[in-house]
Amino acid sequence: MAKRVVFLMSDTGGGHRASAHALAEALHVLHGDAVQCQMVDLLTHYGTWPLSHAGAYYLPLVEQHRWLWRLGIGCSNQARLWQAVALSARLWQRGGLRRFAAEYPADLYVSVHPLLNHAPWWALRRRYPHTPFATVITDLASAPRPWYNPAVDLLSASCSQVQAAALRAGLPPARVLLGGLPIRLAFAASRPTPAEARAALRLEQRPTALLLGGGEGMGALEPTAATLAARLASQGGQLAVICGRNEALRSRLARQRWPGAVHVAGYVDNMPLWMAAADLVISKAGPGTIAEALACGLPLILHSYVPGQESGNVRYVQERGVGLFCDDPDQIAALAVNWLAPGNAALAAMQARARVAARPTAALTIAEALSKLLG
């Protein structure tokens, strides 16, 4: 009978689901139909308010009520306070968690979300004392305290900094794997050339900047797109803007008259192709996007970050010499035009460093470790 793996995730941003899909895909590569994977948005379907609305509250919280978000992250990083919160969540959410445990028996549970490592672990351990539980950290350099539950059977760290934090949080070294951040294998496989990818996407054959804002289309994408489009048009480049689930932004951008070649898309399912078509990525400092861009050898200009959760990602990119942070649309446009100028040596050097920093097969490494838990 096929082994059953249940991924605990939630659609706060696009990265957690993308990583869960990457792991499911890697398990399928290793085991074919002998392993069946399911994704459960635990907060939406089994949480009580306000957690049940986390997906809907996430964007307004991190964009418009940043003080509240900072407060939440700050509190979650206080050890005693977090213990108290985790204990009350366990009591407060217990009805939904019991229901989830009853409806999803499995051979392995894998959490890819910071809020799903304590109360769900407790509910599952009570009902299925012998079923392993793994945490795969899908934040990059700044992974807040709620990620670390010393009792899990395996914790996969996205980078060495997170590995050190896991050990400080009390996880035994034998249960901590430096697995990297899991991304879809299409970012690792032999990709189309930029010319092939541009043809497939009906883009023009010109130097291309890809403007992103994570799964939710976050950050000042509108003013950045306007300045970038004008500067790129004057230098023979083109711009592709992917708005993710931000439909309001997509429809505003799609109605605009642009000075040059500008392509506006909503949520796309073929990000590996868009990255293959690009020469550089301008993005929010989302961990998934950074890992994917590095795997494609693309330098990054980071236009924004979610405080607390993504601030370390900015340092991560800058320390590796694969990009810069810049939140001024004029300066972003100036940088992009400069990097895309023919024969720019700085761009080539960053592309080479990006390939060195990348871990394109992280999903396979982690899937192998998960397979050991499956027996």
Applying CB under 6 A, among 41, 107, 279, 292 the residue interacting with ligand UDP is 292
Out of 114, 180, 182, 215, the residue judged to bind ligand UDP by CB under 6 A? 215
Name the residue number minimizing CB distance to ligand UDP: 286
Q: Report CA-CA distances (Å) from 145 to 40, 73, 139, 299, 331.
A: 22, 9, 11, 29, 35
Provide, rounded to whole angstroms, the least separation between the CB of residue 283 and ligand UDP.
Answer: 7
User: What SS3 class is residue 284?
Assistant: strand
Q: Does position 288 bind ligand UDP by CB under 6 A?
A: yes
Nearer to ligand UDP, 233 or 268 (CB): 268
Q: 3-state DSSP: the chain helix, strand, coil percent, rounded to 5?
A: 55, 15, 35
Query: Which amino acid would we find at residue 294?
Result: L
102's tokens: 């009853």
Kindly state the smallest distance separating residue 344's Cβ from ligand UDP, in Å: 25
Selected binder of ligand UDP within 57, 104, 128, 267 (CB under 6 A): 267
In the block, tokens 């950045």 appear at 224
- Rounded to a whole number of angstroms, the minimum distance from the CB of residue 338 to ligand UDP is 25
Nearest distance, CB of residue 285 and ligand UDP, angstroms: 8
Does 15 help bind ligand UDP (rule: CB under 6 A)?
A: yes
- Report the residue number, 47 or 287, with the smaller CB distance to ligand UDP: 287
Nearer to ligand UDP, 30 or 268 (CB): 268
CA 147 from chain centre, in angstroms, equals: 15
> Do 37 and 7 form a contact (C-beta atoms < 8 A)?
yes
Largest Cα separation within the chain, whole Å, is 64
Q: Which residue of 18, 210, 211, 239 would you call a contact of ligand UDP, by CB under 6 A?
A: 18
Query: Segment contacting ligand UDP (CB under 6 A): 11-19, 35-43, 92-100, 110-118?
Result: 11-19
CB of 171 closer than 8 Å to CB of 137:
no
Stretch that binds ligand UDP, among 226-234, 267-275, 294-302, 352-360 (CB under 6 A): 267-275
From the CB of 196, what's the least distance to ligand UDP, in Å? Answer: 20
Closest to ligand UDP by CB, 106 vs 221, is 221
Helix (H, G, I), strand (E, B) or coil at 264: strand
Provide CB contacts within 8 A for 150, sequence distance 6+: 169, 170, 171, 172
Q: Candidates 26-34, 95-103, 171-179, 265-273 — which segment interacts with ligand UDP by CB under 6 A?
A: 265-273
Our finding on whether 180 is near ligand UDP (CB under 6 A) is no
**What strands lie across the sheet with 108-111, from one edge to the other?**
35-41, 3-9, 108-111, 133-136, 154-157, 176-178
> Residues with Cβ < 8 Å from 293, sequence gap 6 or more?
275, 281, 283, 299, 300, 354
How many residues touch ligand UDP under the rule CB under 6 A: the total is 17
What is the sign, positive or negative, of the torsion defined by CA atoms of 327, 333, 335, 340? positive
Q: Which stretch in 99-107, 113-121, 190-198, 210-218 sits in contact with ligand UDP by CB under 6 A?
A: 210-218
Closer to ligand UDP by Cβ: residue 47 or 288 = 288
Spell out the residues 6+ positions from residue 234 whose beta carbon is closer than 8 angstroms to its own: 259, 260
The reply on whether position 268 binds ligand UDP by CB under 6 A is yes
Binding region for ligand UDP (CB under 6 A): 13-15, 18, 214-216, 242, 244, 267-268, 271, 286-289, 292
